[in-house]
Amino acid sequence: MADREAEMRLMLRALRLPAIAAQYQDLAIKSAKANMTHESYLYELVRAECLQREEHRVVRLQRLSGLPPDKTFASLQLEYFPPLIREQLERLRSGAFLEDAINLVAAGKPGVGKSHALAAIGHELVLLGHQVLWTSTATLVQELLAAKRDLRLPHALAKLDRYACIFLDDIGYVQYDRDEMEVLFTLLAERYERRSVAISTNLVFSEWERIFKNPMTTIAAIDRVVHHSVILDMMGMDSYRAKEASLQRLPTNNPQPPTADGKLAATGGAAKTH
């Protein structure tokens, strides 16, 4: 009996069925007590294997994505966002936009949560089994530029094509030269209507000429990004990082909690800050 059990474990590991190898005995006891049929027992074994594989796949996708691990919906302070933005985020977390290669653009001043919001969506996509890439725009541009110099740009773009969505963080912070602008435009053009791109920017579209230099290239880039897109317009929002810092300076004996917009609720007297 012991020899057969040892052989069973060896065979299951050879077949790369580690969950079944680890659980088949316990499940056999449970199924006997519950008077389960052989088919039900087999179903539970296969289900356990599938669940473990999916868990491992999600962990691997998270590790390879480059997503900031702490920027999820659990840590995103949704109460700071206007109702329209909150509705958009709730819809986007389903990942349905990937089916139509829809792009995302989160535009707003520094500190309003645009990168956090996009990263939270990225984490949801990973949980759904999608392969995504999170990168600063400057970093990816330099990698593509190096590939172009080595005559490997088509190969580099083909590798990026495996990602259902590429998250380009802070597209407006770096002023690109002509070569850098060209590889960035090539990436956007390559993924147009095929794969999704998610962009965070502190620039409104009328200021994107700072990135692409040439007016016609700027128009072409914006057209490819915006044609099929969801715009998270955060330009009118105040920095919630600044609000948090302001709230931390409030007296600890203040009896009124902050409201959803980060301001103090009305009281009988004016609150003082330190």
Tens-place pLDDT, residues 101-128 = 999 999 999 889 999 999 999 999 999 9
- Residues of the domain holding 226: 78-234
The continuous run of DSSP H or E covering 75 comes out as none
For the chain, the straight-line distance linking the first and the last C-alpha, in angstroms and rounded, comes to 75
d(CA 164, CA 194) in angstroms, rounded, equals 9
The answer on 207 and 99 residing in a single domain is yes
The answer on 49 and 89 residing in a single domain is no
The answer on 137 and 172 residing in a single domain is yes
The C-alpha angle with vertex 169 and arms to 218 and 93, in degrees rounded to 5, equals 110
Per-residue pLDDT tens over the stretch 209-231: 888 888 898 999 999 999 999 99
Higher pLDDT, residue 27 or 250: 27
Q: Is residue 211 domain-resident?
A: yes
Tokens of 134: 């999170």
The continuous run of DSSP H or E covering 33 comes out as helix 18-33
The answer on 141 and 184 residing in a single domain is yes
Q: Is residue 246 domain-resident?
A: no
CATH number where 121 lies: 3.40.50.300
Indicate the number of domains in the chain.
Answer: 2
Q: Is residue 20 domain-resident?
A: yes
Q: Is residue 226 domain-resident?
A: yes
Tokens of 176: 């690109």
Query: Which of 39, 65, 91 lies at the terminal end of a domain, its last residue?
Result: 65
Tokens of 227: 């044609």
Tokens of 118: 């996009």
The answer on 83 and 51 residing in a single domain is no
